[in-house]
Amino acid sequence: MKRFAGRIAHAAFVLWAVATLTFLLFRLMPGDPTLNFLSDSFSEEMRADLLESFGLDKPLPEQYLIYLGSLLQGDLGVSFLQKRPVLDILLAALPNTAALTITALVIAYAFGIIAGAFLAFARGTVTEGIAIPAALITRAAPEFWLGMLLLSWLSFAWGIFPSAGANVAGSEFTSEWARLTSADFLWHLILPALTLALYLQGLPLLLMRATMLEVLNDEFIVMARMKGLSRWAIVMRHAARNALLPVATAFALGLGSSFGGNVVIETVFSWPGLGRVLVSAVQGADYPLAQGAFIMIAAVLVLMNMVADLLYAWLDPRVSVGARR
Amino acid sequence: MNRRAMLLAASALTGLSRLPLGGGSAQAQAAQGDPIRPLVLLTRPQAAAPAAYQAAELIAQEWRKLGLQIELRPLPNQQMSQVVWYERQRWDFTMWQMVGRPERGDPDEMVYNLLHSANIATGYNFVGYNNPAYDRLAEAQRSEMDQARRQALVRQVQEVVNQDQPYAFLVHPVNLQAFNKQVFVESSAVNQAGLGIRNFWNWISLQPTGAQRDIIVNSTEPVKATNPFYVSGAPDSWVTDLVWDRLMRVGPDGLPQPWAAERVVQPDPLHIECTLRDGMAFHNGDPVTAEDVVFSFEAPGTGNESPMYRPFVQNIASVVATDPKTVRFTLKRPDAAFRIAVLAKLNIVQKKTWAPVLAEYQNRPENLESYVEERPIGSGPYRFVRSRVNEEVVLEANPNHWAKPKADRWIMRIITNTEATLGAFRRGEINVLADYFGDPDLVKEMAEANPRMIAVREEVDIGFQFVGMNLRRAPFSDAAFRRALSASVNREMMAGAAWNGQAVPANSMVSPALEAWHDAGIVGRVPGGNLDGAKRLLQEAGYRVVNGKLHYPAGVRETTTPFQ
Contact B417 A32 (CB under 8 A): no
Residue type, B227: N
Q: What single DSSP character describes residue B111?
A: I
Q: Tell me how far apart the alpha carbons of residues A294 and A298 are, in angstroms, rounded to a whole number.
A: 6
Q: Tell me how far apart the alpha carbons of residues B286 and B289 are, in angstroms, rounded to a whole number.
A: 9
Residue B358, pLDDT score: 92
Q: DSSP H helical segments within chain A, as ranges? A: 2-28, 44-54, 60-72, 86-121, 126-140, 143-150, 176-180, 183-200, 202-215, 219-226, 231-233, 240-260, 263-268, 274-283, 287-315, 317-324
Contact B423 A89 (CB under 8 A): no
B196's CB contacts (< 8 A; 6+ apart) are: B175, B177, B434, B457, B458, B459
Contact B82 A30 (CB under 8 A): yes
Residue B14, pLDDT score: 41
Q: What single DSSP character describes residue A42?
A: -
CA atoms within 13 A on the CB side of B474: 15
Binning pLDDT at 50, 70 and 90, where does residue A39 land?
Answer: low
Q: Tell me how far apart the alpha carbons of residues B5 and B146 are, in angstroms, rounded to a whole number.
A: 48
Residue A252, pLDDT score: 79
How do residues A227-277 score in pLDDT, each as one tens digit?
A: 888 877 887 777 777 778 788 878 877 877 777 668 889 999 999 998 889
Contact A55 B365 (CB under 8 A): yes
Handedness of CA A160, A163, A167, A168 (dihedral sign): negative
* A276 interaction partners in chain B (CB closer than 8 Å): 390, 416
Contact A29 B78 (CB under 8 A): yes
Q: Tell me how far apart the alpha carbons of residues A143 and B145 are, in angstroms, rounded to a whole number.
A: 59
CA angle A285, A289, A292 (to 5 degrees): 130
**CB contact at 8 A, A121 and A235:** yes
Q: Tell me how far apart the alpha carbons of residues B56 and B41 are, in angstroms, rounded to a whole number.
A: 8
CA atoms within 13 A on the CB side of B222: 25
Q: What single DSSP character describes residue B284?
A: T
How do residues B114-139 score in pLDDT, each as one tens digit?
A: 999 988 887 789 999 999 999 999 99
Q: Tell me how far apart the alpha carbons of residues A156 and B494 are, in angstroms, rounded to a whole number.
A: 32
Residue B177, pLDDT score: 96
Give the H or E element holding residue B272: strand B271-276
Picking from A78, A89, A267, the nearest residue to B417 by CB comes out as A267
Q: DSSP H helical segments within B105-145, as ranges? A: 108, 114-115, 132-143
Lowest mean pLDDT among A24-33, A65-74, B469-478: A24-33
* B304 interaction partners in chain A (CB closer than 8 Å): 49, 52-53
Contact A40 B424 (CB under 8 A): no
Binning pLDDT at 50, 70 and 90, where does residue A308 land?
Answer: confident
B364's CB contacts (< 8 A; 6+ apart) are: none
Closest by alpha carbon to A113, among A192, A252, A211, A196?
A211
What residues in chain B have per-residue pLDDT under 50?
1-2, 4, 6-28
Q: Strand order of the sheet with strand B316-323?
A: B261-268, B271-276, B326-331, B316-323
Number of A:B CB contacts under 8 A? 171
Please report, for residues A110, B270, B392, B454, the alpha-carbon distance to residue A107 in angstroms, rounded to integers and kept in the order given.
5, 70, 28, 39
Q: Which residue of B has its CA nearest to A151?
A: B420
How do residues A114-141 score in pLDDT, each as one tens digit?
A: 888 888 877 788 888 888 888 888 888 8
How do residues A79-125 score in pLDDT, each as one tens digit?
A: 888 888 899 999 999 999 999 999 999 999 999 988 888 888 777 88
* B411 interaction partners in chain A (CB closer than 8 Å): 169-170
State the maximum Cα–Cα separation within chain B, in Å, rounded to a whole number. 85
Contact B81 A93 (CB under 8 A): no
* Bridge partners, B393 (sequence order): B387, B412
B57's CB contacts (< 8 A; 6+ apart) are: B72
Give the H or E element holding residue A126: helix A126-140
Residue type, A292: G
Q: Is B355 exposed, middle or buried (0-12, 13-18, 19+ CB in 10 A)?
A: middle
Residue A11, pLDDT score: 83
Residue A165 has pLDDT above 60, yes or no: yes
A113's CB contacts (< 8 A; 6+ apart) are: A204, A205, A208, A240, A244, A247
Please report, for residues A48, B55, B471, the alpha-carbon distance to residue B117 in angstroms, rounded to integers and kept in the order given.
21, 28, 12
The model's pTM? 0.84
Binning pLDDT at 50, 70 and 90, where does residue A320 land?
Answer: low
Pairing verdict, β B39-43 and B93-98: parallel
Q: Tell me how far apart the alpha carbons of residues B69 and A169 are, in angstroms, rounded to a whole number.
A: 52
Pairing verdict, β B454-460 and B167-180: antiparallel
Contact B420 A164 (CB under 8 A): yes
Q: Tell me how far apart the alpha carbons of residues A218 and A216 are, in angstroms, rounded to a whole number.
A: 5
Question: What phi and psi values does residue B155 have, to the nearest 5 degrees?
Answer: -70, -40
Lowest mean pLDDT among A8-12, A202-206, B468-472: A8-12
Question: What phi and psi values does residue B173 have, to the nearest 5 degrees?
Answer: -65, 155
**CB contact at 8 A, B557 and B33:** yes
Picking from B311, B369, B420, the nearest residue to A53 by CB comes out as B369
User: How close does chain B come to A255, measured CA to CA in Å?
Assistant: 23
Q: Tell me how far apart the alpha carbons of residues B47 and A27 are, in angstroms, rounded to a whole number.
A: 25
How do residues A211-221 score in pLDDT, each as one tens digit?
A: 888 887 888 88
Q: DSSP H helical segments within B269-417, as ranges? A: 290-298, 310-313, 338, 351-361
A117's CB contacts (< 8 A; 6+ apart) are: A208, A209, A212, A235, A236, A239, A240, A243
Question: What phi and psi values does residue B458 have, to the nearest 5 degrees?
Answer: -125, 140
Contact B414 A272 (CB under 8 A): yes
* B220 interaction partners in chain A (CB closer than 8 Å): none
* A83 interaction partners in chain B (CB closer than 8 Å): 224-225, 227, 230, 369-372
Give which of B372, B416, B429, B431 to mutate to test A binding, by max A Cβ within 10 Å.
Answer: B416
* Bridge partners, B274 (sequence order): B264, B327
Q: What is the DSSP string of B475-516?
A: TTT-HHHHHHHHHT--HHHHHHHTSTT-EEE--SSS-TTSTT
User: How close does chain A come to B370, measured CA to CA in Å?
Assistant: 5
Residue B13, pLDDT score: 41
Q: Tell me how far apart the alpha carbons of residues A82 and B42 are, in angstroms, rounded to a whole number.
A: 30
Buried b (16+ CB within 10 A) or exposed e, B32-48: bbebbbebbbbbbeeee
Picking from A46, A83, A280, the nearest residue to B227 by CB comes out as A83
Residue B546, pLDDT score: 93
Contact A169 B411 (CB under 8 A): yes
**CB contact at 8 A, B118 and B311:** no
Q: Tell me how far apart the alpha carbons of residues B401 and B380 are, in angstroms, rounded to a whole number.
A: 7
Cis peptide before B475 (omega within 30 of 0): yes
Residue A20 CB neighbours (<10 A): 13
B478's CB contacts (< 8 A; 6+ apart) are: B541
